[in-house]
Amino acid sequence: MSKREQRSSRPGVEWEFDKISFSRDFSRNVVTKLLVERAEHGGWELDRVRISSDGIRRVVLRRKIIRAVRTA
């Protein structure tokens, strides 16, 4: 149901992506609640939503990857 990958759009900024599919059996309200929960607790933001002709919602979430820099 979920697939993660990493991409860099510009130097110094890296994003982690998570792809999720929801069947047409889930109402809009249920999908919204699930995505809001992931945003609040996981730091994800909405990147893309596609609704296919068969009613399946394909959602792509993203979040920044923050690398810790060692200081001396």
pTM of the predicted model, to two decimals? 0.76
Architecture of domain 2-65: 2-Layer Sandwich (3.30)
For 22: left if phi > 0, alpha if psi spans -120 to 50, otherwise beta; the answer is: beta
Q: What is the pLDDT of residue 71?
A: 82
* Domain residue ranges of the chain, discontinuous segments joined by +: 2-65
pLDDT, mean over the chain: 88
Backbone angles phi, psi at 55, to 5 degrees: 95, 0
Rounded to whole angstroms, the Cα distance separating 14 from 26 reads: 31
The pLDDT of residue 13: 76
| Residue that has been written with the tokens 């990857």 in this structure | 65
